[in-house]
Structure 1
Amino acid sequence: MSINWPLSFAAFLTVVGMGGTTSAYAADAAILSNNNGSVASPSLQVQTDAPVDPKSLGIKGLNIGLPGPTDTIDPDLGGARSELAKAGIGYIGMSLNNFYDNTLPHAFAPTHAQQLYNGQNFTASSQNFMFVTYDLSRFGIPDGQIVVAAGESDYTWNAGGPSRFGLTMATYYQTFLNRTFELKLGYIDNAWEFVGANVGGSLASSVFGPAGSIIYQGGQNNANVPTPGVIFKYNIDDHFYDKATAQRSVSPDGQVAEVKANLNAVDWTVPNAGVLYLNEFGYKRDAAPFAPQMWVRAGAAYNTSNYNNKEIPGTRTEGNSFSYLLVDRQLWQNVPVQGSAGRGIYAGFSVMYAPPELNTISLYYEGRLYGKGLLNSRPDDMISLVLTDTVFSKYLVEQALLNNKLAHTDSKAITLSYSAHLARGVYGSLGLSYVDHPTSVTYTPTTGNALNAVVGLNVFW
């Protein structure tokens, strides 16, 4: 997808005066010639000369929290960030690293090729992304922004990844009618736009677990496998919203197949992949003194891709779907300390469904209890307890039993973790996760359960 097309689209919207401040500029009607004969708008000259706060150049439209410039390992090294901000350019880089190891003695698999779950052998993953933003509001486009990013991912267990290098994001964003409507299009990352599956709502302090498996098997893209698409959000009022997307589906055979067919993530199509349509309706209230945080979101999706049929092996069926409901609420907040309304105790739950005839995971349940900044000396730390139940397709279970294999209907887990803000731009997490039936559907008499020690290290610059 060319970056020039969204710019032309934005320019067209400015001329016709759609929404926000652009109509005021269009109403001027007069376009003046400058000294070298080219044309320029008086408002354009004023806006491009205005100073820009680096904090305003973060990625817009996301439903996940990312650290600001002051919470990076290089807030303004050599004044570079401030100088780039004068030209409307911002950036954020990140390295997201996770390590899993089953501490139970029976876990070891002879080779990674024979590995069946995270931690069966020592398992490591590293995702490294660099995002560059460009401010278009200086040209009279309300909240206008272009984002371009590349990324590199490495996994010791390919099924958990897979490893690749290529495009991560290339988007155009703007708002209309005083931010009532938001538009984003390009190569998008819907994992940071919909559902909000990360406990605590922040990428820096997110904890570990299988949350999101149903939406990913349903074709939703993410930073590792971005695909072309468009996002449209209607902010009904200060709290209620409706958000929809149409994106090219990730391969219905999974992310490994997607990367194998589209290594650099720039291809428009891959075999058997169609279009994923997703709509999310929600209510979101940020924490304020004596007004606890609350976020309720419900979504439904339809995917036109051709999926392997679990009920009739060897056949493919067009038209998959999934749905979800997630609720999080702050139960207690630390209001006596100024600016600490977000600190406190939270609880939440998730329920997700996908039809068992087309999906390995049919149901997913999650309950969570977590605390943010419970210690005055550690205001940015978080502790969480997460319980999950992943239910597998009844057709896969039936077929395994008919073939005289051992099979289980679900996999339950309980995870306790602590995330600490170690230094400016550096977050570390330590967790312990017990998993009953850690493999998918089938197992052997020696598989046993898993007690994974989980370590995370996230660095932002």
Structure 2
Amino acid sequence: MIPFQVGLSRLPFATPGLNLQFNAKNGFYNKLGIQRSISPLGPDIEHDNNEHGLKWRTPGAGTLFIDEVGLQRSATAQDRYMWLRAGAIHNSSDYARMDGRGTSDGNFAYYLAADVQLTKSEKAMLASQGWNLGVSYNYAPPDRNLYTQYVEARLYKRGVVESRPFDMLSFNINRTKFSPLARQSYAARSIETGRYLDAAKVAYMARVHSGAYLSTALSYVSNPSFAPKKEDALNLLVTLNMFF
């Protein structure tokens, strides 16, 4: 959520860009990306001015740089899966300040994430089958971003049934912190806001065919919106993903 908030492209908003990756020994890598930022004026402005995702300029949009360093090792008969990474994002676009005092000089974010395989079975069809544990942390400055911190813990198992190595069961809990400056601005207008957005989700993704996955998830969200403050929400999600 935070990387997209500071301008990283996402569906359905595509922007021109270039990615370069240097792979060193033992799974170490450095990945650098440069792209035209999503407009800081909001998704409606981006859509109205870049409907097909090919324009090099949209109102207020500057250049976004992202650099990630990490260690990624695939699961093998001898080794377990591991992916450690850290990254930084810098956006030259000017963003409106949360205190209403003009605009900021650019925007930025940092992130850390780690996923490690905890268990594996000698009877498994693939070495990647087993329980995995993951954690993530994202940060963006609160003076120009509504979502300022994000923390996540996840536990997931690939190949819940040994004969179905591509299925995955996952449990996820996360917390998103809202900007205190944004909360103060709304409080001055007597509008109640949330302090945190907390969520928990359990999901099962099944491979129904090569390139087709059916995912069913049940999620519980506390403080689902920043303002106005709303009741907690229980959601059932069913999605079909197809890759070509």
TM-score by length of 1: 0.51
Provide the secondary structure at the position in 2 that maps to 1:443: coil
Q: Is the CA contact (8 Å cut-off) linking 1:426 and 1:457 kept in structure 2?
A: yes
Gaps of 5+ in 2: none
| Distance in 2 separating the partners of 1:371 and 1:438 | 27
Q: Work out whether 1:232 is the aligned partner of 2:20.
A: yes
- What residue number does 2:188 align with? 402
Runs of 4+ aligned residues of structure 1 deviating over 3 Å after TM superposition are none
- What residue number does 1:275 align with? 63
- What residue number does 2:43 align with? 255
| Distance in 1 separating the partners of 2:26 and 2:20 | 17
1:24-60 CA-partner distances (Å, limit 9, x unpaired): xxxxxxxxxxxxxxxxxxxxxxxxxxxxxxxxxxxxx
When Rg is computed on C-alpha atoms for both structures, the one with the higher figure is 1
Q: Is the CA contact (8 Å cut-off) linking 1:334 and 1:342 kept in structure 2?
A: no
Q: 2:109 aligns with which of 322, 336, 343?
A: 322
TM-score by length of 2: 0.95
Deviation at 1:405, TM superposition (A): 1.2
Q: Is the CA contact (8 Å cut-off) linking 2:186 and 2:192 kept in structure 1?
A: yes
**Higher mean C-alpha deviation, range 326-335 or range 372-381:** 372-381
Task: Using the aligned pairs only, state the percent identity.
Answer: 35
Counterpart amino acid of residue 143 in structure 2: E
Q: Work out whether 1:310 is the aligned partner of 2:95.
A: no
Counterpart amino acid of residue 442 in structure 1: A
1:384-436 CA-partner distances (Å, limit 9, x unpaired): 00001011111111111121111111100000011111233321111110000
Q: 1:452 aligns with which of 231, 235, 240?
A: 235
Deviation at 1:314, TM superposition (A): 5.8
Deviation at 1:376, TM superposition (A): 1.8
Q: 1:372 aligns with which of 150, 158, 177?
A: 158
**Higher mean C-alpha deviation, range 391-400 or range 228-237:** 228-237
C-alpha RMSD over aligned residues = 1.4
Provide the secondary structure at the position in 2 that maps to 1:219: coil
Using CA pairs below 8 Å that are at least 6 residues apart, which structure has the higher relative contact order?
1
Structure with a larger share of its residues in helix:
1
- What residue number does 1:331 align with? 118
Aligned residues: 244
Q: Is the CA contact (8 Å cut-off) linking 2:41 and 2:59 kept in structure 1?
A: no
Counterpart amino acid of residue 448 in structure 1: E
| Distance in 2 separating the partners of 1:324 and 1:282 | 12
Q: 1:424 aligns with which of 205, 210, 223?
A: 210
1:135-185 CA-partner distances (Å, limit 9, x unpaired): xxxxxxxxxxxxxxxxxxxxxxxxxxxxxxxxxxxxxxxxxxxxxxxxxxx
Q: Is the CA contact (8 Å cut-off) linking 1:290 and 1:335 kept in structure 2?
A: no
| Distance in 2 separating the partners of 1:236 and 1:340 | 25
| Distance in 1 separating the partners of 2:187 and 2:35 | 37
Counterpart amino acid of residue 65 in structure 2: Y
Provide the secondary structure at the position in 2 that maps to 1:227: coil
| Distance in 1 separating the partners of 2:108 and 2:153 | 23
| Distance in 2 separating the partners of 1:405 and 1:222 | 31
Provide the secondary structure at the position in 2 that maps to 1:334: coil
Q: 2:228 aligns with which of 435, 443, 457?
A: 443
Counterpart amino acid of residue 451 in structure 1: L
| Distance in 2 separating the partners of 1:285 and 1:310 | 41
Provide the secondary structure at the position in 2 that maps to 1:308: coil
| Distance in 1 separating the partners of 2:154 and 2:42 | 27
Gaps of 5+ in 1: 1-212
Deviation at 1:295, TM superposition (A): 0.2
Cα pair distance change 1:325/1:238, threshold 3 Å: same
Provide the secondary structure at the position in 1 that maps to 2:145: coil
